[in-house]
Amino acid sequence: MLDEKYVTVPATLTEDAVRAIVQEELEQAQKRDAAGKKAAIIASKGTLDWAYPPLILATTAAASGMDAAIFFTFYGLNIIHKDFEQLLKVSPLGNPAMPMPVTMPNVVLGLPGMGPMATHMMKSKFAGKNVAPIGELLEAAQELDVRLIACQMTMDVFGYAQEDFIDGVEFAGAAAFLAEARQAHVTLFV
Amino acid sequence: MTETQIEIAEELDARGLLCPMPVIRTAKAVKALTPGQVLKLLATDRGSIADIPAWAESTGNELLDWHDEGDFLVFLVRRGQET
C-alpha cells in the first residue's frame, strides 16, 4: 500500500476530471498540429469513373476546413484538361465489375462503338441520379481554393502545354507534391 | 431542442443532390452566416446522416438537431466561431 505522503494527486481529482484534462490536452495538440488540416491527393487515372474520387474527396476536405491539393499526373491530367468533357470516358473492356444491362463477352465489348456507348450510359446514369458532373466538381474545387497541380513531367511526355489546362492550374513536380504531403495526414493515391 | 424554438436564419434545399454536394453547399451557406445563426438544411442523400454531423464536428459548427421527415431529412446547423 502507498504511503500517503507520496500520493501527490489530490483526492478530489476524479476519473472524469482526469479524462477532461486529457481530452483538453489532446484537442490542443491537434490544434497545434497543422498536418491535421491538410489533404494531399494524387489523381493518376483519366477515366470518367476515376475522375470522381479525387474531386469528391478534395472538395469535401476543403469544405471541412482543410487545405486540399490534388496533384494530377499521367492520365489524371485528363481531368483538368480544357477538353475534359471529351477526354473522360469509360470502357467496359477489362472491367468485369461494370454493371451492364445484359452480360456481354469481352469480344463484343471490344467492338467499335462500345466505349462511347458505355461512356454515354455512365453519364446518363449519373445525371439521372443527380450526381454532380465533373465540371461542377471542378468549379466547386476552384471556389473552395483546392490547389489543382499538374505534373510537369507527364505534361512534357504527353505533349501538353500549360494553355491546354483549365484556368487556375499550377504546374509542379514530385518535390512540390511531397512538400505538401509531408505536412498532411490525409494523403491518397487515386 | 426542437425546431420550433430555434430561429432559422437561412434555409438550404439540397434535396436530390448526392455526395459531395450537400456538404459543399452546406459549408458555403454556413460560411455566409454570422456565428450563432442557424441554417436549416433539407436533403435526400441518406449519406448526409453520417456526413453532416462529421462535417459539423470537424469544422467547429454545431448540429443542433436532425430528423427524418420521411421523404427528406432536416438538419439544423448553428454556425460556430471558427469556421
Helix residue ranges per DSSP H, A33-151: 48-63, 84-87, 106-109, 114-128, 134-143
Q: What is the pLDDT of residues A76-91, one digit of tens each?
A: 999 999 999 999 999 8
User: Is residue A37 within a helix (H) or strand (E), and if so which, with residue range?
Assistant: none
Task: Report yes or no: B42 and B68 within 8 Å, Cβ to Cβ.
Answer: no
The Cα-based distances of B11 to A8, A136, B29, B74, B77 in angstroms read 54, 22, 9, 10, 10
Structural domain span for residue A182: 35-92+133-189
What ipTM was predicted for this assembly?
0.79
Residue A60 touches partner B, C-beta closer than 8 Å: yes
Q: What is the average pLDDT value for chain B, to the nearest integer?
A: 92
Cβ pair A72, A172 in contact under 8 A: no
Q: What is the pLDDT of residues B2-35, one digit of tens each?
A: 556 889 999 999 999 999 999 999 999 999 999 9
Count of A-B CB contacts under 8 Å: 42
* A94 close contact with B: CB closer than 8 A: no
What CATH number does residue A179 fall under? 3.40.1260.10
Q: Is A155 part of any domain?
A: yes
Nearest to B18 among A59, A60, A129 (CB): A129
Regarding pTM above 0.90, the answer is no
Q: Is B39 annotated in the active site? A: no
The answer to whether residue A42 is domain-embedded is yes
Interface of A with B in 107-146 (CB under 8 A): 129-132, 136-137, 140, 143-144
The answer to whether residue B83 sits within a structural domain is: no
Q: How many domains does one find in chain B?
A: 1
Please tell me which of the candidates A59, A65, A143 has its beta carbon nearest to residue B59. A65
Q: Which domain holds residue B58?
A: 3-40+49-78
B21: contact with A, CB 8 A cutoff: yes
Taking only Cα atoms into account, the Rg of chain A, rounded to an integer number of angstroms, comes to 24
DSSP string, A157-187: HHT--GGGB-TT-EEE-HHHHHHHHTT-SEE
